[in-house]
Structure formats: C-alpha cells, structure tokens
DNA sequence: TTCATTACTTGCAAAACGCAAGCTTTGATA
DNA sequence: TATCAAAGCTTGCGTTTTGCAAGTAATGAA
C-alpha cells in the first residue's frame, strides 16, 4: 500500500496538500479570490499573466477538489463567479505565512499591503 | 516593467515564493530535512518516492537559491549532507500551516506526529 | 575479485506548460 | 441591420518538465 487515496503520493498531510495545490499557479488564483477577485477576466488581469488554458484547468481542478465553487451571478449571458469554500478560505493562513517568508527572505519582492495579513478565513467563504 | 527580478513572474511576495518552491517536490525535501534527513538516500527513502533526477535537480536549485547548503561530512569518499539555512528553516511555519490545513480538510491523509508542530525554525538551521 | 553503497547522470517517452488563435453568447454601437 | 466589443472559454501545437529505467564513479567490505 502506498496511500489511502491512489491520487496521493503518500498519506503525509504535506504531500496530500501539495498534490492538490502544489504547483506554480493554484495558490495565486486563491490569492486573487482572497483579494476579492471573482471572475475569469479578473484572474487574467493579475500581473503574473496566467495563460488562459492554465487558468481554465486550475479553476476546474480547484472546483473538483472543493476549494472553490463556481456560482452564476447572471443568466443572460450566463456569467459565473468563483468563490472560496471553507476549505479554500482556510488556505489563507498558508498564503499569509508564505508571503511573510518571502518578505523576509526574497529581496526582490514588494511587501503585500498591510490589510492582507489582517484578513481572516471566516470572512472569505460563501455559504 | 514586470518584476524587479526577471526570474520572478511578479513582485508579489506570494508569487516570488512560488517561483522558488512552488512545485510538487521542493517542500517535501524541506520537510525531510526538518525531520532530520540529511543525505541523498534519506530523501529517496521517503514514501513519495521522488525520481532520482528530480531529486538531484531540486537539491541543486534549493542550494542555488540559498534555502539549503551542501556540506561535506567525510572526504573518502567525498560525502555531503544537505542542511537548512535560516532562509530554509523559516519555511517550517509554512509546512506546519499547510499540514494543519490538510489534516483538517483532506480526509485521506494521516496526521503528522505531534512533535512536528512543536518544531521551531531556530532549532533547524546550521551555522 | 566481486559485491554493495552512495550519489548521481543520461536517455527517452509521456505529460504538462505556454503562446496564439479561434469560438460562442450577448449587449452596445453605427 | 451589420459590426464590434466583452466575457469565458477551447483548440492546436511546439517547448519544457517530469518520471521511469538504466548506467556510472568512487570506495569499502567480503
């Protein structure tokens, strides 16, 4: 036996987490939602310039893994917004810790705005 | 202008952090070192079974970015161990936060041992 | 002399990525 | 009415990265 779930490399919580969001883009999409971006074009407008096919595939995967939900906000034409679930909002402390690490150790980065570190998961998810 | 450092996708601290360790394997190697693994074979023995060429390339990159150091512990034959720098040890809180998230939200994972959450960066790095 | 260990490197096929272009639905504009 | 723009994608295709297997070099042990 290798892992409870064959999609996981092992049962280690860290390994399981990285199997879900361990890539270059997923956490940036989640960051964007934390910063109140909701729509496809919003994510595309971020400075990292995520390729459109990658964005589509990440949104799909994050939805499939229950980290975000896709919710219509108008019908003609059908337009959806992407929102965090509780599972997704609970990634905020990870983002904050990682951002703090970079501010301390990566000279080329520019500090995140103060308010980012004051955000709390319970204010971010949908119900 | 896109980013201070052309290797970075943007100047966002999160983006900078992910440019360094945002992949499936890097944080697992760092986890291993936190758990007192030091040598090439130690990393290979972890349950995720990292491919040997990937391991070599990650160790190289982590060293180049100042997250780990490669240090000889014997000369005949020359054998080295990999240790965390301060920069690397300071990733521990990220690992702990991410592991806690997975324990809460990923049903298939098995909780990390208690002591993992009691570790502190200042006890992990070399001087 | 052969075998085992450690720490890698190399080759190659498969998968993922990234860029550009195209498509669909709808509302606005001329 | 014809054209245009916006939003949210999909498709094609070349490049890069990954992952598996095998091979290599240095040394010590049997």
Give the model confidence (pLDDT) of B49-89 as tens digits: 999 999 999 999 999 999 999 999 988 888 999 999 999 99
Q: Residue A53, CB, less than 7 Å from strand D?
A: yes
Supply the pLDDT for residue B87: 98
Judged by CB atoms within 8 Å, which residues 43-82 of B form the interface with A? 46-49
* pLDDT grade for A35, boundaries at 50, 70 and 90: very high
Task: Give CA angle at B84 (B78, B88), nearest 5°.
Answer: 145
State what percent of residues in chain A have pLDDT above 70. Answer: 98
The nucleotide lying nearest B52 (C-alpha to C1') is C8
Give the pLDDT band (50/70/90) at residue A5. confident
Of B2, B94, B110, nearest to A101 by CB-CB distance is B94
Domain range A13-123, its CATH number among 1.10.10.10, 3.40.50.300, 3.40.50.970, 1.10.357.10: 1.10.10.10
Backbone angles phi, psi at A94, to 5 degrees: -65, -45
Establish whether the CB of A74 is closer than 7 Å to any nucleic acid atom in strand D: no
Q: Pick A94's closest partner by Cβ from B2, B16, B101.
A: B101
Burial status of residue A66 (CB atoms within 10 A of its CB: 0-12, 13-18, 19 or more): middle
């Amino acid at each position: 036996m290798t892992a409870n779930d064959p999609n996981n490399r092992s049962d280690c919580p860290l390994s399981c987490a990285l199997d879900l969001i361990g890539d270059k883009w997923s956490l940036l999409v989640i960051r964007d939602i934390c910063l109140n971006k909701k729509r496809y074009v919003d994510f595309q407008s971020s400075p990292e310039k995520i390729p459109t096919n990658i964005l589509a595939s990440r949104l799909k995967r994050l939805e499939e893994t229950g980290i975000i939900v896709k919710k219509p906000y108008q019908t003609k034409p059908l337009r959806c917004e992407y929102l965090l679930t509780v599972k997704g909002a609970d990634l905020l402390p990870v983002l904050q810790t990682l951002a703090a690490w970079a501010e301390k150790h990566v000279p080329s980065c520019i500090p995140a705005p103060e308010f980012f570190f004051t955000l709390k998961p319970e204010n971010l998810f949908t119900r």
